[in-house]
Chains A and B, each alone.
Chain A
Amino acid sequence: MFRDLLVVAFLSSCLHAQDSFVQTVKPLINSYCIGCHQGANAAAQFDLKQYESSGAIAKDHARWALLEERVAGMTMPPKGVKQPSDAERAALTNWVKTFLKQEAAKSAGDPGVVLTRRLSNAEYNNSIRDLTGVDLKPAKEFPVDPTNAAGFDNSGESLSMSPALLNKYLQAARKVSNHLALGMEGLLFAPHPMLAETDREKFTIQRIVEFYDRQPTDYAAYFEAAWRFKNRAALGKPSAALDDFAKEAKVSSKYLPMVWQLLEESNEPLGPVAKLQWMWRMLPGAQHNQMDAVKEGCVKMRDYVLKIRKLTAAQFRSPRVVGLSGTSQPLMNWKLRAYASHRMDFDRTALQVEGESPMVVPPMRPAFGVPTEDAVASRNAAIAARLRVGDSELFVPSGQRKAYEASFARFSAVFPDAFYIRERGRFYPDDSEDQGRLLSAGFHNVMGYFRDDTPLMELVLDEEQRKELDRLWMEFDTIADFTTRTYVQFFFNQSGEIEGRGRESGSFRPSDQEVTSERVIFGIRDAYLAKASAKDDELGREAIREHFARVNTMIRGVERARLESQPKHLESLLQLAARAYRRPLIESEKESLRTYYRSLREQSALTHEDAMRDMVTLVLMSPDFSYRLETAEPKQVTQIAAPKPSCRKPAAVATVPSTKLLSGAAMASRLSFLLWSSLPDAELSTLGANGDLLKPEALAGQVRRMLKDEKAKALSIEFAGNWLEFRRFEDHNSVDRTRFTEFTNELRQAMFEEPVRFIDDLIRNGKPMTEVLYGKHTFVNAVLARHYGMNEMIRIRGAEWVRVSNARFYGRGGLLPMAAFLTKNSPGLRTSPVKRGYWVAKTLLGESIPPPPPQVPELPNDESKMELPLREMLAKHRANASCAGCHARFDGFGLAFESYGPVGERRKMDLAGRIVDTRAEFPGGAQGSGIEDLLSYIKASREKDFTNNLVRKLLVYALGRGLQLSDEPLVESMKKSFAENDFKFSALLESIVMSLQFREQRNPAVETRLKENPKGD
């Protein structure tokens, strides 16, 4: 099918085509065309005199295809000029058609020259998003990418590098590396920079709190799941297991059986267990069909549990030590540990037994200012007493204390007073004053955190989840260093209490490392022990010893954990590099990276963390990351001698293949940038690395899978956005916001998103792309709905987007009436039928229309100040023959949009108060009014242009280069497949991905030879 390029290079100079050109074509051109089409001022800048050979025509095939179209369509030569006879016309057009077809076939499938290039800004941002898991968008600081002739910013034809841009790349890489955190198992990236300690705390605390908040700890959910299990037969699942209901309700498989057991165990005669069981038995069965009542009942059961536990939760205060404040940290930590280890226990003093001395309610202290331990303890005791006194739930008949205690104990063992403590204020457990102090230990002024989640760990979480939570807490320490920093702040601020210089005094100030040394830690411990030397202070002394032992163990543990995780970070970095480079690393590359790390540690004396940041920066600055190298495929190519080819021997004799298949990794990369504008995911990379991707079924399967992924939205943004010229609309600022106050940033954003969502829906849900034109629906959010006058849609909540099926009723539907295009193609204070019409003709229908001549006077800016309506001023275009040649092709389209104003709003009057007139004349003479008629015209006469245009645009986008003659056969087969598959976008993608152009590359060795031997002599 495909022949040697070496041979091809010389065929075009063979006599065959050249002869017929000279005999047939040149005379006709000279007779009928050269009159206008020659010299420096050639009409449409098409100088036909310069074509001396068929080879020149092959080079300029696109314009000659246009020539053929115009001549065959009888629009050229124009009316009023000497016309060729029918036979002459046919001879010319047939020659051109045949010639072009032959030329195309000779090198059909030629992958062409696809220049290596840097990533586009969108590709850079998306790659960082997928590499780090955080959408950092570092390229928003980069200058806007220039586009190539087809309007795309993803080819080497327009993308280049400069020192200024490289400097920005360096800043961006540094910025990304500032987001790095060193986890226990590998590298992590935070959504914000991680250089300041306060930032590291924020990150690590947030992860823990989010983990907590995700866990199923609502008792009502468990009661409901248990009820479903109990009623499984009536619910149609007689053989389902308890665990099935746990999974269905998304509650803990570990905890549900415990709850079930308590509810169902042999009836308790007394206490809270009895009461709960009674409430449980009173729930309606499934046969009664009263789900609302069941739900309510479960909620009531939960509220009962919460109430009982609130009434009976154990309370603690720090050990009393003469000479030390109760809020002294070693003592406070004892209290916190006591709370943490008694959550499945209860306070026996809460029970009020008939006959025993009544409960005393102490006076209530206010929660104010800096609390003392006494104040906190007595306030909490008062609060508890107030709740408990007189509550019949706590009444125990005379002599039955033991039995009731047993019931309360059983109850508390299953229902902890809290599964975890997520925040803690000064007056804990009374948190009415201080909210939002996440994971806080409740200290005053100094930092301090305390982990209190034993019930969650023991009752709810499975093995893997426990490991995860442990790891999150460990990373709180290894990343944010909270134990050490708490101790250091304590050391410099509270150690004064034992040095006798007042509460807030720093005493001795050892050097950096020493403060956290075991020696200093135990030194200060001993100073505290000395303060707690009275006989009654045994508990206090125990608390002090335990506290400092714990601090020391934790600090040493963190040091060890950090050291142990260092090799994992390096491995994680190698994996990051492979993903960033879109290919497996070879051993020497890995070794080189490891060596560099070592030199950063040893020669540059960087800390491990700084070294890792530099490694990440290095990976992101490497050309393997920032450059698309798929078609460059730098590898050693063995030189094979090839005999000199000759024009008279068309048979392929050279043994150097002029193309070769892209490697699996390169294919994965090319495919993923096409569909996602980003790097491959794990599945695609694996298939690429082991070569399986190269099989056609695998390729097709991946295309299907990747289209389903939300990342394929990139096609709507990068491909469609650039094709239809709305890519930069988010920055559009030509609208006069004082005159059009509705044009806010929110509306602008919504206008941008509408075509993205519309097209994304067509692409990913396999709908016909012709809906772009004829679709009667669209998508809106609240802001856009208001702008479009879709009153009943305004009740959409904030960020929600909905599909509007009857958009036609509001004058919308399909792309044409979308505000983004109407606004973008308006200069600010008036509409522009010229720009709008031109947009339809050029971007949608693919017409080539040359630019206007230089000295055209500007139309006035402000419609409200124009004396004539716009359409009359434009009529002058059509009066003048040299303007009409082009303007007749699109002015009419633009006038059809006149019932939409400068920001796409529907209008009956223009800005000067005149009634709008949407009548228009379309090319070929058809008349119409408004968009409906425009669409009818397109459907009748121009639909092929639309599909042809879309096909070509997508091919350019996918290949990363302009089209060449050899692509024509592919274009034809794509158009055919498109039509046969109901104009599904996926059909086009499949054709492209399976094509030789996409799967192959020019062999670099051949390039070099051709360069050395251009004439092949």
Chain B
Amino acid sequence: MKSQSRIARRTVLRGAGVALTIPWLESLNAAVPAPKRFAVLFMGNGVNEDQWSAKGQGASMQLSKSLEPLAPLRQKINVIDGLFVKSLTGQGIHPAQTGSILSGASIQRGPILRSGVTVDQMLANTIGQDTAQPSMVLACEQPLTGYHETNFSMAYSSHISWQSPDSPVPTEVYPSLAFDTLFENRGVMRNASILDRVRTRASELSRQVSSTDKAKLDEYLGSVRDIEKRIERMRIDKHKADEVAKGSNKPAWTMDRPANGLPEDLREHTRLMCDIVALGFQTDRTRVASLILANDLSAQIYPFLNVREGHHSASHDNLSDGYERITRFHLSQFAYLAQKLDAMKEGDGTVLDNSCLLFLSNLWSGRRHDNSRLPLVTAGGLSGAIETGRTISYLGEKDENRKMSSLYLSILQKMGLKMDRFGDASAPLERF
């Protein structure tokens, strides 16, 4: 490593990979329970409904063709059928069916965007404050923000994470930038720099005033020093943990910084994004992530699947083999991430065991634009809070008992938040 003094941090990281050992958290204090993580992977435009089903429980669960890639993990997944978001029905197709997929809120048409805080951002604002990065919001497709013919903004189709009712979180589409954000600790370092100057000024003032005033300014000075110390301690602890882990002979896992720009091939793009989520979870730099594999009204193309049309066009013929291959491709990305996390030992289990991952689409059937039930798979037991290896159906139940918001509320509660309502739900999901 070159001397760091005059070289910008970006330059240092550029071209250099990040070699990491097992999570520093574990090596530092084995008695501390592993953190819980949450991630949602989204594929727009629905599935091939004929090939999306599961029967049975546990080791004998039977998975349909599109769900086959999850076979090795059947004991750790739940295939859930019949849930939906009521406010996303009956207002029009596409953006009006997507705008609050992770929040259950009512959305509005016209120039002013309005939805609700999504489940992942709710987590980012709470447990996310304990990690270097509150959450990751990623996508493999650029957003569109014009108007759909229903007069709903296309922003609803290309964003699934909302930090406030007025504002979707911009997605990061470039893997290299997602990687950088994860490791640069930007926010904290910027604050440290500001505090340093503030402390200097407070110190200067303190020397210039009367003794009684000095006591007041010293309160300020002391408080600044206190916060600076905390930041420094965090850095030192992390560094110490890295050193300890290095010395304890455990296998390392490396990831190079992705090249600048967008990958040519969608397969590489999705794989890189999944790797970054896995890395973030493993190093505990973040515990919350959302990833759009394909937007609603997606224009992704799949030449490597021998499909001629773009994703959205193909979804109009969603019972075709071509669309089944598209569905299965995206589901495989989910399986890839889940397996990667399952290969990372943590405590008595794996990172996957301490996580809850969701795979979700905004439609069931693309050709009928039917979203009265949504395709949904979960993976991971959230440290035992979620029973896995089940197929659960809510089809035929009252709308009250079929809310996606209830699922989100259950997850929020199981992740430690004290809440009794979320979105349009005032009770957690039964049987979950």
B168 to chain A, nearest CB (A): 6
Q: Is A78 an interface residue (CB 8 A)?
A: no
Does B20 interact with chain A (Cβ within 8 Å)?
no
A205 touches B111 (CB 8 A): yes
Cβ-based interface call for B344 (8 A): no
Q: Find out whether the CB atom of B312 lies under 8 angstroms from the CB atom of A437.
A: no
In the assembled complex, how far is the CB of residue B396 from the closest CB belonging to chain A, in whole angstroms? 34
- Near A by CB (< 8 A), chain B positions 169-184 give 169-170, 174
- Contact indicator B261/A510 (Cβ below 8 Å): yes
Please measure, in the bound complex, the distance between the C-alpha atom of A624 and the C-alpha atom of B168, giving whole angstroms.
36
In the assembled complex, the Cα of A631 lies from the Cα of B216 at a distance in Å of 13
Bitwise, B301-312 to A at CB < 8 A (1) or not (0) is 100000011101
* Chain A interface, number of residues (Cβ within 8 angstroms): 88
State whether A113 and B212 are in contact (beta carbons under 8 Å apart), knowing that A447-B145, A493-B299 are contacts in the complex. yes
A166-B224 contact in complex given A434-B151, A489-B146, C-beta closer than 8 Å: yes
Instruction: Give A1003's nearest chain B residue, CB to CB.
Output: B210
A473-513 Cβ-contact flags toward B at 8 Å (1 or 0): 00000000000010011001100100001111110011110
Chain A window 974-1012, contacts with chain B (Cβ cutoff 8 Å), 1 for yes, 0 for no: 000000000000000000000000000010100110010
Closest Cβ of chain A to B346, distance in Å, is 31
Q: Mark A604-624, 1 if CB is under 8 A from B, else 0.
A: 111000100010011001111
Specify which chain B residues have a CB less than 8 angstroms from the CB of A492 in the assembled complex: 142, 299
- CB B257 to nearest CB in A, in angstroms, measures 14
**Taking the nearest CB of chain B, how far is it from the CB of A681, in angstroms?**
25
Partner of A618, one of B144, B197, B310: B197
CB–CB B213/A447 < 8 A: no
Inter-chain contact A1008/B210, CB cutoff 8 Å: yes
Residues of chain B in range 239-297 having any CB-CB distance to chain A below 8 Å: 260-264, 297
How far is B201's CA from A596's CA once the two chains are assembled, in angstroms? 13
* A-side contacts of B111, CB under 8 Å: 202, 205, 436-438
Check A77 for interface membership: any CB of B closer than 8 A. no
At the interface, yes or no: A257 with Cβ under 8 Å from chain B?
no
Contact assessment for B227 and A511 in the assembled complex, using a CB-CB cutoff below 8 Å:
no
Known: A502-B310, A504-B312. A115 touches B216 (CB 8 A): yes
Question: Contacting chain A: which of B67-75, B79-87, B188-196, B416-424?
Answer: B188-196
**Do B227 and A170 touch (CB < 8 A)?**
yes
Q: Within the complex, what minimum Cβ distance (angstroms) separates A293 from chain B?
A: 40
The reply on A288 being an interface residue by CB < 8 A is: no
What's the least CB distance linking B166 to chain A, in Å? 6
- Please tell me if the beta carbons of A618 and B198 are within 8 angstroms of each other in the complex: yes
Residues of A within 8 A of B113 (CB): 198, 202
For residue A52, CB closer than 8 A to chain B, the reply is no
Are B194 and A621 closer than 8 Å at their CB atoms? Answer: yes
Q: Is B19 interfacial (CB 8 A cutoff)? A: no
Quick check: is A824 within 8 A (CB to CB) of the other chain? no
Cβ of A444 within 8 Å of any chain B Cβ, yes or no, is: yes
B210, B211, B220: the one contacting A161 at CB < 8 Å is B220
How distant is the Cα of A520 from the Cα of B376 in the complex, in angstroms?
A: 41
Query: Which listed residue, B151, B261, B297, touches A511 by the CB 8 Å rule?
Result: B261
Once the chains bind, are B209 and A161 in contact (CB under 8 Å)? Answer: no
Q: Which residue of A lies closest to B170 (CB)?
A: A196
Q: Does B55 contact A (CB under 8 A)?
A: no
Q: A435-B110, A502-B309, A623-B217 are in contact. Are A603 and B227 (CB under 8 A)?
A: no
Contacts of A285 in B (CB 8 A): none
> For residue A601, which residue of chain B has the nearest CB?
B8
CB pair B8 A511 closer than 8 Å: no
**Interface status of A118 (Cβ within 8 A of chain B):** yes
A370 within 8 A of B: yes
Please encode chain A, from 170 to 204, with 1 for each CB lying within 8 Å of some chain B CB and 0 for all others: 10001000000000000000001101111101100
Cα A852 to Cα B227 in complex, Å, equals: 42
In the complex, A1007 Cα to B143 Cα: how many Å?
65
Partner of A512, one of B143, B145, B146, B261: B261
Give A596 to B190 CA distance when docked, in angstroms. 12
Do B8 and A605 touch (CB < 8 A)?
Answer: yes
The interface bits of chain B over 198-218 (1 if a CB of A lies within 8 angstroms of the residue's CB, else 0) are: 100110010011111100110
Q: In the complex, what distance in Å separates the CA atom of A1007 from the CA atom of B190?
A: 39
Task: Decide yes or no whether B53 CB sits under 8 A from chain A.
Answer: no
Contacts of B195 in A (CB 8 A): 170, 621
Residue B148, interface by CB 8 Å: yes
Q: Is A421 an interface residue (CB 8 A)?
A: no
Q: Is A165 in contact with B223, judged by CB distance below 8 angstroms?
A: yes
In the complex, chain A residues whose CB is within 8 Å of the CB of B154: 445-447
Q: State the CA gap A197–B154 with chains docked (Å).
A: 13
Docked CA distance A1011–B210 (Å): 10
| B148 partner residues in chain A, CB cutoff 8 A | 444-445
**Is A315 located at the chain interface by the 8 A CB criterion?**
no
Instruction: Kindly state whether residue A369 has any CB partner on chain B within 8 Å.
Output: yes
In this assembly, does B149 line the interface, its C-beta being within 8 Å of a C-beta of chain A?
yes
Q: Is the CB of B220 within 8 A of A118?
A: yes
| Residues of chain B with a CB closer than 8 A to A603's CB | 6, 8
Name the one of B11, B145, B208 contacting A489, with C-beta atoms under 8 angstroms: B145
Residues from 141 to 163 in B contacting A, C-beta threshold 8 Å: 142-149, 151, 154-155
B residues near A645, Cβ cutoff 8 Å: none
Asked if B167 CB lies within 8 Å of chain A CBs, one says: yes
Answer whether residue A116 sits at the interface, using C-beta atoms and an 8 A cutoff.
yes
Q: Is the CB of A437 within 8 A of B299?
A: no
Contacts A435-B151, A447-B145, A504-B312 given; indicate if A511 touches B299 (C-beta within 8 A): no
The answer to whether B169 and A604 touch across the interface, beta carbons within 8 angstroms, is: no
Given known pairs A116-B209, A492-B142, A501-B301, the reply for A614 and B155 (CB within 8 Å) is no
Docked CA distance A167–B261 (Å)? 37
Interface flags, B347-372, vs A, CB<8A=1, else 0: 00000000000000000000000000
Assuming the contacts A113-B212, A614-B190, A1002-B210, asked whether A488 and B142 have C-beta atoms less than 8 A apart, the reply is yes
**B201 nearest CB across to chain A (Å):** 6
Minimal Cβ-Cβ distance residue in A for B154: A445
CB <8 Å contact, B147 and A624? no
- A786 and B201 alpha carbons, distance in the complex (Å): 55
Query: How close is B270's CB to chain A, nearest CB, in angstroms?
Result: 14
Cα separation A202 to B114 with both chains bound (whole Å): 12
> Whole-angstrom distance from the CB of B320 to the nearest CB of chain A?
16
Residues in A with CB closer than 8 Å to B155 are 198
User: How does the 8 Å CB contact mask read for A105-126 relative to B, with 1 for contact and 0 for none?
Assistant: 0000000010111100000000
A492 to B301, CA, bound (A): 12
The reply on A528 being an interface residue by CB < 8 A is: no
- How many angstroms from the CA of A333 to the CA of B377 in the assembled complex? 45
Within 8 A of B (CB), among A857-901: none
Q: Are B260 and A426 in contact (CB under 8 A)?
A: no
Complex Cα–Cα for A443 and B146 (A): 7
Tell me if B219 counts as interface (CB < 8 A to partner A). yes
Residue interface bits A929-947, CB-to-B below 8 A is 1, else 0? 0000000000000000000
Contact string against A for B residues 299-335, beta-carbon threshold 8 Å, 1 for contact and 0 otherwise? 1010000001110110000000000000000000000
Tell whether, in the assembled complex, residue B301 and residue A623 are in contact, meaning their CB atoms are under 8 Å apart: no
Closest Cβ–Cβ distance, residue B51 to chain A (whole Å) = 24
A202 and B8 within 8 A (CB): no
Quick check: is B30 within 8 A (CB to CB) of the other chain?
Answer: no
Q: Does B313 contact A160, Cβ atoms closer than 8 Å?
A: no
CB A433 to nearest CB in B, in angstroms, measures 8
Bound-complex Cα distance A115 to B216 (A): 8
Contact flags A156-168 to B (C-beta < 8 A → 1, else 0):
1000111101110
Give me 15 A-to-B residue pairs in the complex whose CB atoms sit less than 8 angstroms apart, sorted by A's number: A161-B216, A166-B226, A193-B167, A198-B155, A199-B167, A205-B111, A433-B151, A446-B144, A505-B301, A617-B194, A622-B201, A623-B205, A624-B201, A627-B217, A1007-B211
Residues of B within 8 A of A (CB): 6, 8-11, 109-113, 142-149, 151, 154-155, 164, 166-170, 174, 189-191, 193-195, 197-198, 201-202, 205, 208-213, 216-217, 219-220, 222-224, 226-227, 260-264, 297, 299, 301, 308-310, 312-313
Question: 4 closest pairs, A vs B, by CB?
Answer: A511-B261, A634-B208, A436-B110, A504-B299
What would 7 more interface pairs be, CB under 8 Å, given A437-B111, A489-B145, A632-B217? A160-B216, A197-B170, A435-B151, A436-B111, A489-B143, A503-B310, A605-B8
